[in-house]
Structure 1
Amino acid sequence: MIAVKQVRTPLDFDAKVKTPGNAWLAANPSTPRPPALWAPFTEALASGFEERCGYGAMFVPADGTVDHFLSVKHHRALSYEWGNYRYVSAAINASKKNADDTVLDPYEVGDGWFEIILPSLQLCTTDRVPQAARAKAEFTLTRLKLRDGEKVIRQRRAWYRLYLDGKLTLDGLAQVAPLIAVAVRRQTGAVP
């Protein structure tokens, strides 16, 4: 995970999503899953996250999705609140499920809280994680399979291999997988 700045609400979001969505919620109190009125705004959210998963901190071109940080199941009233959306990979979103705020919010992560270890490509916390957030940070790594889950390691390995094979520059790596680029710079002594 890397620090992510909160994405501004698109100008027409309230008119196209929030207002009709909240009206739908009021009219359908017992329907479990509200319609995905937010879907047309996925691109705006992805752009704000620089096309990277808010948890995996890597480029997710094909399977990026909207995560309700506080789940629809437990926080139905927030279904159509822009501030409750995070851009994440579908696989990580599936791992998160209804974990809600038992995992770290990408908007609350500070710079340098996590690092990639080379050559294993495992993700770990650093001493920059505040003491009050340490347990939640460790739980997040486990719940979302960010430390060493097969899918996330495979994705990290693919980006790292492109860099090692000279098909991706260090600056390019920093764009698509910033934590791996930081690990490479740390290993090689390169100045960021």
Structure 2
Amino acid sequence: MRCLPDAIDGHHACFFPSIVLGIAIVGVVGPTPAGIIFSLSISGWPKYARMIRGSTLSLKNSGFVEAARALGASEKYILFHHILPNSYGPIIEVATLGLGSKIIAISGLGFLGLGIQPPSPELGTILKDGLVYLQTAPMMSLSAGGMIMLFVLAVNLIGSELRSITDPRSNTIEL
């Protein structure tokens, strides 16, 4: 478990490794798709809650929010028309980075034998099954590992571009 200081209120935030919690929950619930989704969702939601909270706290004292209050806008209007649209960029970036880490966690659970079971294809299981043939047919494991790497890279690049499109502060002209 690692603890980091929180930039907003100075308290320390401790993070439990999601793969360990995923192994424990999948071990209890069973290696079903619903159990895997549940285990990874339970360990991942605090990251999104902290991101939304931090973004909201930083935006609630912004000039455009103060101007909307001065014009008599309701709190609900300010939340849905000013704060949430300006929070989309960081939330999208964290969600896409989280998707890449969840793909790696799902593949890790499959590699350990706790993922989706064999008639259904899963990259972690394919990677584990290819270890037996690593000397004679290395492409079996290398292709599964390469697909995991390419998918995570593609999701991260897409997330970075989506953030630059949706975040009004990052619209800079590149030469």
With structure 2 as the length reference, what TM-score do the two structures score?
A: 0.25
- Relative to its length, the structure with more helix (as a share) is 2
Mark the structure with the bigger radius of gyration. 2
- Relative to its length, the structure with more strand (as a share) is 1
With structure 1 as the length reference, what TM-score do the two structures score?
A: 0.24
